[in-house]
C-alpha cells in the first residue's frame, strides 16, 4: 500500500497543533516539529515500518532548512507517495491578538513581547516571507475566524476525501467580516437581488427552500451562476494537469447568509459529478 503523507505548516499561532490533533484522531501517525532535513528519510522509514498514513508538522523554527522542503516533497511524489500539504494562515491582526492573549513569544522575535506590537508585526512579516514558497504549494486554511472545534472538523473532512484527485472547495463568506485568505478565486455576488429585504426570508439562509426558490427565479442569479460555472469548467482541467490538489473558490455577499450560500450549494452540486467537492459556509458553520 502506498504511503499517504500530510505535511502541516503555516504561521505561528495559526492552529497547526489543532490540525495535527485532528489528523491523529483520523488515524495518522503524527510528528511535530520535524527537522526538514529528515523529511524524506523519515517518510521512507515509517513506510517500511508499515505506517501508511503519516502527518508531519514543520514550521519556521527550522527556517534555515525550509528551502529543502519543496524538493524533498517532489522526490517523494516521484516515488509514489501521495503528498498533501496544508498551510494554516491567519490575518496579522488575528495573530497579534493570539500572541498577546497567550503571552507567548514569536519564534522569530528577538525581543520580549512586552517591548511592543511593532516588533511582533515585523516577526510575523518575516515569517510570511520565509514560508511563502510552501504556502504557494499548499491548501491554505484561513483560521482567522475559526474556533478550534471548527478547525478540527474541517481538517477531518479534508482527510476523508479521496487522495490524489483535485478537490474543489466552495466557500461562502461575508465581505463585512473580511475576505478569506485561503481562497484561490473570489467572486463578489453583492450586486444580486438580496433576500434580506424580505422580512419572511431574512432569518433564513441560502440552504432553505424559500430562499432558494426566490433566488432561482432571479435572472441575474442564473447569469452569475452560469458565468462562474463556465470559468471553472474552462480552467479546472489545466489546474489539475498542473498537479493542483485543491482549488478554493470563495463567494461573498454582504452577510454570508443568503446569496453566497445559495450559490455555493448550487455550484458544489453541479461540479460533484466531475470533481471531488467540499462546501464551507464560513458565517454559518459551527454557529
Q: Mind spelling out the 3-state secondary structure of 80-120? A: CCEEEEEEEECCHHHHHHHHHHHCCCCCCCCCCHHHCHHHH
The conformation of residue 279, written as its DSSP 8-state character, comes to E
CATH dotted code for 4-160: 3.40.50.300
- The Cβ-side half-sphere exposure at 186, using a 13 Å CA radius, reads 13
Q: Is 78 annotated for ligand binding?
A: no
Task: Give the pLDDT confidence score for residue 113 in this predicted structure.
Answer: 47
> In angstroms, what CA-CA distances link 234 with 188, 204, 231, 240, 273?
19, 33, 5, 12, 16
Give the Cα separation of 172 and 193 in Å (integer). Answer: 16
Q: How far is Cα 48 from Cα 42, in angstroms, rounded to an integer? A: 10
Contacts with 41 (C-beta within 8 Å, 6 or more apart), sequence order? none
Neighbours of 104 (CB within 10 A): 13
Angle of helix 69-78 relative to helix 117-136, nearest 10 degrees?
Answer: 20
Residue 10 annotated as binding site: yes
The segment(s) of the chain belonging to CATH 3.40.50.300 are: 4-160
Sheet order of strands, 276-281 included: 185-188, 246-253, 167-174, 276-281
Segment (H or E) for 250: strand 246-253
Give the count of beta carbons closer than 10 Å to the beta carbon of residue 73: 21
14 in a known ligand binding site: yes
Residue of 92, 76, 94 lying closest to 84 (CA atoms): 76
Read off the pTM: 0.84
Residues across the chain: 287
Instruction: Judge whether 12 is annotated as a binding position.
Output: yes
Question: What number of H helices and E strands is found in the chain?
Answer: 9, 9
Task: Please check if 138 is assigned to a binding site.
Answer: no
Q: Is 223 exposed, middle or buried (0-12, 13-18, 19+ CB in 10 A)?
A: exposed
Burial letters 114-136, b for 16+ CB under 10 A, else e: eeeeebbebbbeebeebbeebbe
List beta partners, residue 172.
251, 281
Known binding residue 198? Answer is no
Confidence at residue 66, expressed as pLDDT on a 0 to 100 scale: 85
DSSP string, 146-183: --HHHHHHHHHHHHHSPTTS-EEEEEEEEGGG---TT-
Is 102 marked within a binding site? Answer: no
Cβ(8)–Cβ(55) below 8 Å: yes
Q: Is 60 a known ligand-binding residue? A: yes
Q: Does 15 show up as a binding residue in the annotation?
A: yes
- Residue by residue, pLDDT tens for the chain (287 residues) are 688 899 999 999 999 999 999 999 989 999 998 888 888 888 888 878 767 889 999 988 887 788 889 889 988 988 888 888 999 999 999 999 998 888 788 888 775 445 567 888 999 999 999 999 999 889 999 999 899 999 999 999 888 887 667 899 999 999 999 999 999 999 999 999 999 999 999 999 999 999 999 999 999 999 999 999 999 999 999 988 877 888 999 999 999 999 999 999 999 999 998 999 999 999 998 54
Amino acid at each position: 500500500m502506498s504511503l499517504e503523507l500530510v505535511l502541516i505548516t503555516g504561521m505561528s499561532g495559526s492552529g497547526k497543533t489543532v490540525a495535527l490533533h485532528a489528523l491523529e484522531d483520523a488515524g495518522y501517525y503524527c510528528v511535530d516539529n520535524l527537522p526538514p532535513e529528515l523529511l524524506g528519510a523519515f517518510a521512507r522509514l515509517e513506510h517500511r515500518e508499515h505506517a501508511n498514513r503519516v502527518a508531519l508538522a514543520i514550521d519556521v523554527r527550522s527556517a534555515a532548512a525550509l528551502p529543502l522542503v519543496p524538493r524533498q516533497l517532489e522526490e517523494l511524489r516521484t516515488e509514489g507517495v501521495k503528498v498533501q500539504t496544508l498551510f494554516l494562515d491567519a490575518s496579522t491582526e488575528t495573530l497579534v491578538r493570539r500572541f498577546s492573549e497567550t503571552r507567548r513569544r514569536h519564534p522569530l522575535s528577538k525581543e520580549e513581547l512586552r517591548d511592543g506590537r511593532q516588533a511582533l508585526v515585523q516577526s510575523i512579516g518575516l515569517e510570511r516571507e520565509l514560508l511563502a514558497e510552501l504556502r504557494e504549494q499548499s491548501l491554505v486554511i484561513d483560521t482567522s475566524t475559526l474556533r478550534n472545534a471548527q478547525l478540527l472538523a474541517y481538517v477531518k473532512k479534508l482527510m476523508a476525501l479521496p487522495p490524489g484527485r483535485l478537490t474543489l472547495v466552495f466557500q461562502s463568506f461575508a465581505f463585512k467580516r473580511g475576505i478569506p485568505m485561503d481562497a484561490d478565486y473570489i467572486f463578489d455576488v453583492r450586486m444580486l437581488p438580496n433576500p434580506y429585504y424580505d422580512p419572511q426570508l431574512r432569518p433564513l439562509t441560502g440552504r432553505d427552500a424559500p430562499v432558494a426558490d426566490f433566488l432561482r427565479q432571479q435572472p441575474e442569479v442564473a447569469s452569475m451562476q452560469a458565468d462562474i460555472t463556465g470559468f471553472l469548467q474552462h480552467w479546472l482541467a489545466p489546474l489539475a494537469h498542473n498537479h493542483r490538489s485543491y482549488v478554493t473558490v470563495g463567494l461573498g455577499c454582504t452577510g454570508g447568509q443568503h446569496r453566497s450560500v445559495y450559490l455555493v450549494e448550487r455550484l458544489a452540486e453541479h461540479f460533484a459529478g466531475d470533481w471531488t467537492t467540499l462546501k464551507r459556509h464560513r458565517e454559518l458553520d459551527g454557529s
